[in-house]
Structure 1
Amino acid sequence: MQIDFHHGVTYAVARLAGFEHQAASTIAYCAQYVDDAVNGGLVRFDNGALFERISSAHKMLDYRNFRELANHHVWIPFHFLPGNGGLADGKEPEGKYVDKLICRPNSHVAQQMVRECILRQDAPYGLHRLGITMHVYADTWAHQGFAGIRDRVNEATRLVDEHGLPDGKLRERMTGYFMSEAMPLGHGAVLSQPDKPYLRWGYTNGRGEQIWRDNPQDFLEAAERMCQVMQRYRLRNPDAIVPGLPVCDRALIATLLETLIYPDQRVRHRRWLAAIAEGKFSFGSAMVSYIPKGKLSWKFAALGTEKERDRGDEVFPYREQFLASDWKYFHDALQAHRLFILHDLLPRYGICAA
């Protein structure tokens, strides 16, 4: 998914789940910042203090950069959550080890991920972790059928459009990419098709299976489930029976997913923020923005830098407010999330991923 969903839709769904503006803004910022946190390593301060951070993304739209993207610490815990064939822990899917790694929508793995997030919400970075969790959870719908490793299951041929006809436009776009090595990683073989909410399309995967994807329906289901998760979060009960999206708001989300057919994710994002500002949702009008780098960004408030990428040898001015900054809390939550996924949750399913 792209910024229109991870930020715009996540904000709207958080409000519809009962969060007030500031909390919903934090959740949505974190959900999108997962795709923009490209710097890792030590942060050095002028008073001798150190802070270690990890990255949760590479420049994922450049599918040619496969050497950098082939990083289990990024792809598996943050973008292609293994689904264990849709089975519960203790059960083995048929096939090879890679069948455990293929992402599945709302899998048992994903459900246990959100349960842990709800139960650990008292941490100072609880809301920030919820935003990260919502990113990963939503991506189980968009990235279903693909694995966060290099494997032939990720290959795709015979791409078709919503009418079942050969998708010549996508083939033309792919000719500009060096794909022979990158295709087996993630959904590089189909570029950003899984991430665009308005598309209906199909392909034949590396195993010869014909796959049909209905993105509007998948994205709407993701929004519904996210609302339920956030309602349970507010109740502090991962097993609570909750209503999900209000009927009218659900219909509006469905309409926007279907009708905002702009290929540029930034244009779609602006349209979502405009709908929110115009008060089209039942929670009323709200002004929402997202600034990942530069002035007014969380990173600028924490470190005082406007640079998008760090060289690694910078020394930043230390400020007392750093320890309680949103940027630090986001990175604290990233580490907590990754540690739980890789070292606790996935091993329950017999998955060893770095």
Structure 2
Amino acid sequence: MNIDFHYGVVYIAARVGGMTAGDALTVAHACQYVDDATTRGILRFKGGETFERFATAHKLFDYANTENDQNRLVWTPFHFLPAGEGETLEEKAICRPDSEVAREVVRRAIRQRGSETGLHRLGVTLHSYVDTWAHQGFAGIESPWNRVHLLEAQDCTRKGWMESLKLVAGHLLEHIEEDILTLALPVGHGAALHYPDQPWARWHYIDGRNNFISRHNLPDFVEAADMACRAVRGYMDGREDFETQPGLPADVKEALTDLLDTNRNADDNDRLRTVCEWVKAGRVPGLKERVPPYIAKGRGSWKCLATGLEYDDDTGDRPVWTDAFEKSDYRLFHDAVKQHRFVTTQEILPARGLRIA
């Protein structure tokens, strides 16, 4: 999923689920920031203080990253949450929509309700949770299940396919076949291009086990939004049985289905603008308000507000550590990431026979 869902739709789900605008914004921002927090390592302050950060995403085209150990710590807990089903490690690592593992991850976040990182932890968790619908059938490790053959999408011409490929690769690649792309991008859904993340897409392919896989994203995305709303309600009430809570009202679900189906701009940031326009115009029943813009990097971003640093690589003078940093969204997000990663990789997955970190 892209920013139109992780920020825009999650904001809608949080507001419909009963959160204040401020809390919904924190959750939605943390949910999207999982895709943008690409700087890892120690942040060093002028006075000698240090703060450890874990990257929750790789930079553009790093689906081809060959550091499999690092991939497992990034793609697996945050983007391709394993379902833990099957016999082999490769089978257990496959992401399945709304799996029991995914629900347990949500329950663990609800358990942290009221903690200082609670909202940020919920946002991080919702990112991995809703991605189980978009990324189903793929794994966050190098796996034969990630192979894609004979990829086709409805109303997709060869020219359109190549344009999608250029968006992923960042440079022109001509006369390339899916088999070659699969070898180049062995982790996650890289070989399936952008189709898993487009809300309206109808597409099909042959997977690594020669199974014919047919996907229609729209009902999956609407279900993901509905379950995100249930998770928010569970969080609000301290109910770990969040799946039993009310989801999106019928009129909201109908409006959201229309929005996701008709909002087909190839640029996900343009799609986010449309989502925000719908909310501002009151086209989502029960909501008529301005959604603040999302700033991933640079001035106005969580990192810059907390440290004064405007670049990904901490370029510039070392920041001064203050109490304001301790209270910042940036610090709370990264500590929530540490909590989520530990619980997922060290507790939940090993309990289901899957040790990947």
Q: Partners in 2 of 1:63 and 1:72 — Cα distance? A: 13
- Whether contact under 8 Å (1:17, 1:228) holds in the other structure is yes
**One-letter code of the match for 1:256?**
L
Q: Partners in 2 of 1:287 and 1:139 — Cα distance? A: 22
3-state SS in 1 of match to 2:277:
helix
Q: Partners in 2 of 1:27 and 1:64 — Cα distance? A: 26
Change (3 A) 1:248 1:180: closer
Q: Partners in 1 of 2:192 and 2:265 — Cα distance? A: 18
Q: Partners in 1 of 2:75 and 2:191 — Cα distance? A: 16
Over residues 246-287 of structure 1, what are the superposed CA-to-partner deviations in whole Å (9 max), with x where a residue is unaligned? Answer: 111111110011001111111101111111122222132233
Give matches, 1:253-264, under 5 Å: 253-264=256-267
Q: Paired residue for 1:11?
A: 11
Over residues 46-93 of structure 1, what are the superposed CA-to-partner deviations in whole Å (9 max), with x where a residue is unaligned? Answer: 12211111110012x4156422576211011100100123xxxxxxx2
Runs of 4+ in 1 over 6 A off after TM superposition: 165-168
Identical aligned pairs, as a percentage? 40
User: 2:239 matched to 1:246?
Assistant: no
Give matches, 1:15-164, under 5 Å: 15-59=15-59, 61-62=60-61, 65-67=64-66, 71-85=71-85, 93-94=86-87, 96-162=88-154
- Whether contact under 8 Å (2:63, 2:188) holds in the other structure is no
1:167, CA displacement in angstroms? 6.2
Q: Partners in 2 of 1:162 and 1:56 — Cα distance? A: 32
Over residues 279-320 of structure 1, what are the superposed CA-to-partner deviations in whole Å (9 max), with x where a residue is unaligned? Answer: 222132233210111222111110001113335x96212222
1:168, CA displacement in angstroms? 6.4
Give matches, 1:117-266, under 5 Å: 117-162=109-154, 169-170=160-161, 173-174=164-165, 175-176=173-174, 179=181, 181-239=183-241, 241-266=244-269
**One-letter code of the match for 2:99?**
S
Q: Partners in 1 of 2:152 and 2:182 — Cα distance? A: 20
**One-letter code of the match for 1:289?**
P
3-state SS in 2 of match to 1:181:
helix
**One-letter code of the match for 1:16?**
V
Give matches, 1:274-289, under 5 Å: 274-281=277-284, 282-289=286-293
- Whether contact under 8 Å (1:11, 1:25) holds in the other structure is yes
**One-letter code of the match for 1:15?**
R
How high is the TM-score relative to the length of structure 1? 0.92
**Cα RMSD after superposing both structures:** 2.0
How high is the TM-score relative to the length of structure 2? 0.91
Q: Paired residue for 2:294?
A: 290
Moved more, 192-201 or 238-247: 238-247
1:158, CA displacement in angstroms? 1.2
Change (3 A) 1:146 1:64: closer
**One-letter code of the match for 2:217?**
N
- Whether contact under 8 Å (1:160, 1:202) holds in the other structure is yes
Change (3 A) 1:173 1:323: closer
- Number of aligned pairs? 343
